[in-house]
Amino acid sequence: MSAPSSPETPAATSLVVGGRYELVELIGSGAMGSVFAAQDLVDERLVALKRLHAQRADDNTARTRFESEARTLRQLSHPGLPQVYDVGEDFDGVSVQPYLAMRLVTGETLADKLSERGPLPTHEVAALVAMLASALSAVHIAGVVHRDIKPANIVVSESGQPVLVDFGIATADDVEPLTSTGEVLGTMEYISPEQVSGRRATAASDVYSLGVVAFQCLTSVKPFQRESAVASALAHLHDPPPDLPRSVDKPLADLVQGMLAKDPDDRPLAADVARGLDRVLARSRS
């Protein structure tokens, strides 16, 4: 993959970060920072290096979110979550930029996979969502809520293991959200009804978002996407999810519909989703 020309390409930024990580290739870039493939010159391995944009270095909110992501990931261990190797700061001669070195997951995002293939086979969806639900359960047991579950934040490795990435707006139970009251964080097509209402996101909110992802994987349809963000928000609040195709086995369809319940108290726990999907997969193999 060739890195696009941008201020954050290796040619335009410090080639060695923290005296240790030699930037190789730009993987992706967003509003907060960029992710590079980098060579760890000490441990002699390729890593994913996430680095806050230089223009955000003096933005206290951006720095706090970045540091929160680092703390969140360091306390988690699961095959479906990024493994953090190192956290540090780098001075490029102008500003101090925090960075995060993680296990490099080679593969494609679920968003790209859906764009290329359309609806996925039901057994593949069940397996993917089961692994994601297991990862989410580990996140929730640690007292963390991701708050932005969507296909673009899921990388499917070459072995088929989905990895949940981008914990930039995640919060722990004992940490106040980095927003003013009523501000909504997340992606509108996947956000839960309670987040639309301005209430705090919980583990049940992540389950809802994963349910939207599961529905999209089965149908290529985002069930609550409408002509505008406001209309999509109202759909999350008031519209029932569409019926899944009859080709989807009833136990799987019922589980996805349960994940999309409007009332967070009516949704299953992530661990229950994983167990339920494991049973669906076991029945399909028998």
pTM (predicted TM-score): 0.82
In the block, which residue shows the tokens 């349910």? 211
Topology adopted by domain 107-285: Transferase(Phosphotransferase); domain 1 (1.10.510)
Does the annotation place 262 within a ligand binding site? no
**What's the average model confidence in pLDDT over 144-151?**
91
- Average pLDDT over the chain, rounded to whole? 86
Q: Which of 90, 148, 166, 206 is catalytic?
A: 148
Residue with tokens 């890195």: 3
pLDDT class for 13, splitting at 50, 70, 90?
low
Judge contact between 246 and 185, C-beta under 8 A.
no
Residues 52 and 99: beta-carbon distance below 8 Å: yes
pLDDT per position as a tens digit, 235-244: 999 999 999 9
Active site residue 40: no
Confidence of residue 187 (pLDDT cuts 50, 70, 90): confident
Weakest-pLDDT range from 123-132, 180-189, 201-210, 214-223: 180-189
Q: Domain ranges in the chain?
A: 16-103, 107-285
Would you say domain 16-103 falls under CATH 3.40.605.10?
no
Predicted local confidence at residue 4, as pLDDT: 37
